[in-house]
Chain A
Amino acid sequence: EAQVTQNPRYLITVTGKKLTVTCSQNMNHEYMSWYRQDPGLGLRQIYYSMNVEVTDKGDVPEGYKVSRKEKRNFPLILESPSPNQTSLYFCASRTGRGNEQFFGPGTRLTVL
């Protein structure tokens, strides 16, 4: 089944404890993105990647890192999480010429 998977789905952590949210897609898509969703603010893009080893900042990249060493994986790294990073996170992917973005199921992160 074509899909985007994220892990973990739920995470509660404490300020300053490094964490990684994984994202994987099995559709051989070139483009991948990370979004965060907060009440009243909609979805905002954090980082995106056009292909392996090609990444760039989205609208809200502060406090996040990403890497794209393999085409299928696009992990989101929080080196020192803070409470303002408590949010619902979505990974998405699409082909280079595709109109449809495929979203993962989401990761709900709480930073205490």
Chain B
Amino acid sequence: DAKTTQPTSMDCAEGRAANLPCNHSTISGNEYVYWYRQIHSQGPQYIIHGLKNNETNEMASLIITEDRKSSTLILPHATLRDTAVYYCIVRVGMYGGATNKLIFGTGTLLAVQP
């Protein structure tokens, strides 16, 4: 699985959009980009995933650059409850593979400020 690079931490004002970047310059053509978040020692929570098209769901939007070497997770209206560590994960195959393994790096600690 390709390696990802994320900033260690970011701040965002409550109500504003939070834009979390992720670099994955060695991504392969069959690797998907997944985003999870972990709110202080709770179990990680799936947010969104994509291959090359931009994706949106009720939680967030995922913007993947045309060359697929980077992506941005957008939380459109951040709230205090969005304060968490956000993990960008690159994974072969749409279904997570036979090992069911997700490789979590150190992620980005997003602090939403009131």
> Known: A43-B102, A58-B101. Is A99-B95 also a contact (CB below 8 A)?
yes
> Known: A31-B100, A94-B100. Is A43-B44 also a contact (CB below 8 A)?
yes
The interface size bin for chain B is 20 to 34
Query: Does A106 contact B101, Cβ atoms closer than 8 Å?
Result: no
Q: Does B53 contact A (CB under 8 A)?
A: no
Within 8 A of B (CB), among A87-112: 88, 90, 92, 94, 96-106, 108
Pick from B34, B45, B103: contact of A99, CB below 8 A. B34
Chain A residues whose CB sits within 8 angstroms of the CB of B99 once the complex forms: 45, 48, 56, 58
Cα A108 to Cα B40 with chains together (Å):
13
Query: Does B94 contact A48, Cβ atoms closer than 8 Å?
Result: no
Please, what's the 1-or-0 string for B89-108, where 1 marks a CB less than 8 Å from any CB in chain A? 00000111011111111110
Cα A37 to Cα B94 with chains together (Å):
25
Pick from A4, A33, A40, A88: contact of B100, CB below 8 A. A33
Query: Does B46 contact A100, Cβ atoms closer than 8 Å?
Result: yes
Taking beta carbons and an 8 Å cutoff, which residues of A are in contact with B? 4, 31-33, 40, 42-43, 45, 48, 50, 56, 58-59, 88, 90, 92, 94, 96-106, 108
